[in-house]
Amino acid sequence: MDFAYTIAGFAVGAIVGLTGVGGGSLMTPLLVLMFGIHPSVAVGTDLLYAAITKAGGTLAHGLKGTVDWKITRLLATGSLPAAAITLALIGWLAPGGIEGAAHLIQVALGVALVLTAVALIFRKRIQAYAVARSGGRPEDPARTARLTIITGAVLGVLVSISSVGAGALGVTALFFLYPAMPALRIVGSDIAHAVPLTAVAGIGHWFLGSVDWFLLGSLLVGSLPGIWLGSHISTKVPDRILRPILATMLMLVGAKLMAH
């Protein structure tokens, strides 16, 4: 076991516990830029890492009753086929298979990080705008359901090639689609959806040969206690301080990945 990977897993886990931001926004660029891991292997390994770590969060939210399983199913209806088709096309069409798609993955990761940073910075404004735009009018269930499936499909494509997007981007989209829903229920539904999405995408990467099981184990050994610690001290660190710092970091890393 590489102790450096374990320390990285602990650090990312603690930040995820503190901020609620998905580990893909941090772990994948850390593996690519600091440890020199091939982008496709970093993404594939991080997807399975996310599926395992977020399963615990889903259990906690499920027990609290803060998961809307209908929304989760609608998102999954779009995201799971989209993720599978995207990986199949990359493996089939990209020169050299998934290994040959490294540049595409790196650029997609950079774009996803910048979008995640924007979503973090403006999340409250976006939520307020969505509530004001609805004006208390009743939602059209059929239209909202269609848009939720489409949102899931977009997330499926993005997550399968970059491992980023299921967290902050998914929550932001749900705020637009369900402005009257409590924030905690939106977060719980998004986390529940992230588990099958990252699992399917991660298994797809495994079949394509882009998962490092040794790396995955080393990360999990550090991340699980890190998430526990971060969750326990999260109430003592002001969110208004953490989120702008994290968003700035994601913006810089995303720009570097796109320009790399």
d(CA 259, CA 106): 10
Contact, 34 vs 189, CB < 8 A? no
* Mean pLDDT on 95-120: 76
Residues in the chain: 260
Q: Position of tokens 């091939």?
A: 38
* Phi, psi of 37, rounded to the nearest 5 degrees: -70, 140
The C-alpha atoms of residue 57 and residue 231 are separated, in whole angstroms, by 11
Q: Is the dihedral of CA 121, 175, 10, 37 positive or negative?
A: negative
**pTM of the full predicted structure?**
0.80
Beta-carbon contacts of 238 under 8 Å, excluding residues fewer than 6 positions away, are none
Task: Look at residue 95 in the predicted model and tell me its pLDDT.
Answer: 65
- Please tell me the predicted confidence (pLDDT) of residue 100: 67
Distance (Å, whole) CA 45 – CA 91: 17
Digit-coded pLDDT (tens) for 53-70: 888 778 877 887 888 999
